[in-house]
Amino acid sequence: MNILILGGGGREHALAWAIRQNPKCDRLIVAPGNAGIAAIARCADLAITDGAAVAAFCDENAIDLVVIGPEAPLAAGVADALRETGISVFGPSRAAAMLEASKAFTKEICDAVGAPTAAWARFTDAAAARAHVARTGAPIVVKADGLAAGKGVTVAMTEAEAVAAIDAALGGAFGEAGASVVIEEFMQGEEASFFVLVDGETCLPVGTAQDHKRAGDGDTGPNTGGMGAYSPAPVMTDAIRAQVMDRIVRPTMAEMARRGTPFQGVLFAGLMIEGGEARLVEYNVRFGDPETQALMMRLGGQALDLIQACAEGRLAGMSVTWADDHAMTVVLAARGYPGDSAKGGVIGGLGGLPETSLQMMFHAGTAERDGAVVANGGRVLNATGRGATLAEARARAYALAEAVDWPDGFYRRDIGWRAL
Ligand code: AMP
Ligand code: GLY
């Protein structure tokens, strides 16, 4: 089977690494890929949000299956364009990707099926939004409705912060994505990520994880795309998983099918758990980054069988083979991240690192220049370890991080603290 993966971050390196291990994989191409991916797959230059361009590339390269990593091509309808030409694709249609592309859309679906989530209201008018905040008080959460590259959410501890967030979004800080805002009740509890494959009908959970969103140790500092993650998430007990499937995931998927827009791909439910009850924070319609790096470490080559069955509508006959294991990934970021960070710094120490089923250094934002690996993004490397316990996984992940010689980089020292 010839496979194309769209994307070029740590998530895609982890997907490529797992898929490569499956003997069904003949040729593997990743677009655009990165310096780490280039060691295990061909990297191709391709306009990945252009459905016609991706379809033409698949035709030229005899691609049998396309795995879409990030949300942008999904929201742009790339999966639709590929399905029209008969190519198997892992990732939802543009209509089903609305579960990530519009916060208000997801809230309406939750209300329609009675899925537990924070109370909410939607505004396009700043005065009305401010009046709502004055009525409800803080803490309160203000979100740009659309895709804002992870920057559209403000957890406001004061009314003034909420008002500033409203004015920024409706004032155009996020472009079209902020043309309307969703204002939500602030939820307390422990957050976790739950990943469920859906083939339009059948839902198959493929793992849980917890990530660390803040840049600094002790969960301090600015919000980021994620500074590290571990799997499984202890808070996602059997009972909570069953509850989330019954109350949130299955009803949402049934409602999407009923509306004529069935979901096919991986549904990523961001959850808030408190007192034995889980509520939905948000959906994403793709794998998480960096959660996937920990997940793929645990799934290995079977990931391809699961992804292929999902794309082909055959999940009903599938199951996941779990080892009783744990994995952790530690993000090495460029100094300054999530703000502006310098690109081009040379990263040493990568050459002799172990590359095994217990330890992998996934590349997130790297490029090759004159034979050297250089930083090419905010999140740059993902040191990933697996073990029989989380402590063992952590030791293996941090051993990799410490072996890297990169003066411009930093990483958190406390990934997994809550679980350990
Ligand atoms: P989102 O992009 O919707 O996942 O929001 C980003 C982060 O903001 C989440 O991971 C939570 O930490 C936080 N957050 C979002 N919505 C809420 C809420 N209603 N209550 C508390 N925290 C929230
Ligand atoms: N790590 C969170 C996300 O992928 O959205």
Q: How far is the CA of 81 from the centre of ligand 2 (A)?
A: 25
| Whether residue 281 has its Cβ less than 6 Å from ligand 1 | yes
Residue 49: per-residue pLDDT = 98
Tokens found for residue 417: 């603290």
- Exposure string of 144-178, with b = 16+ CB inside 10 Å and e = fewer, is bbbbbeeebbbbbeebebbbebbebbbeeebeebb
Cα(382)–Cα(10) distance, integer angstroms: 7
Task: Write the residue with the smallest CA distance to atom 5 of ligand 2.
Answer: 288
User: pLDDT of 134-181, one tens digit each?
Assistant: 999 999 999 999 998 778 899 999 999 999 999 999 988 888 888 899
Residues in the chain predicted with pLDDT less than 70, given as ranges, are none
User: pLDDT of 301-331, one tens digit each?
Assistant: 999 999 999 999 999 999 999 989 999 999 9
pTM, full prediction: 0.96
Q: What angle is formed at CA 201 by the lines to CA 257 and CA 191, rounded to 5 degrees? A: 90
Task: Write the residue with the smallest CA distance to atom 11 of ligand 1.
Answer: 281
Q: Quick one: CATH architecture of 190-317?
A: 2-Layer Sandwich (3.30)
Map out the domains of the chain as residue ranges: 2-92, 125-179, 190-317, 326-410
Residue 176: per-residue pLDDT = 86
Residue 39: per-residue pLDDT = 95
Instruction: For 125-179, give the CATH class.
Output: alpha beta
**CATH number of this structure's domain 2-92:** 3.40.50.20
Instruction: For 326-410, give the CATH class.
Output: alpha beta
Residue 222: per-residue pLDDT = 87
DSSP string, 37-59: GGGTSEE----TT-HHHHHHHHH
Q: What angle is formed at CA 392 by the lines to CA 389 and CA 393, rounded to 5 degrees? A: 90
Pocket mutation for ligand 2, best pick of 268, 271, 293, 382 (most atoms within 8 Å of C-beta): 268
Q: How far is the CA of 31 from the centre of ligand 1 (A)?
A: 30
Q: Which helix (H) or strand (E) covers residue 131, if one does?
A: helix 126-136
| Whether residue 282 has its Cβ less than 6 Å from ligand 1 | yes
Residue 223: per-residue pLDDT = 86
Cα(325)–Cα(345) distance, integer angstroms: 35
Residue 151: per-residue pLDDT = 80
Residue 179: per-residue pLDDT = 83
Residue 138: per-residue pLDDT = 92
| Whether residue 288 has its Cβ less than 6 Å from ligand 2 | yes
Residue 236: per-residue pLDDT = 97
Residue 382: per-residue pLDDT = 98
Residue 106: per-residue pLDDT = 97
Around Cβ 134, how many Cβ atoms within 10 Å?
11
Of the candidates 304, 339, 303, the one whose C-alpha atom is nearest the C-alpha of residue 322 is 303
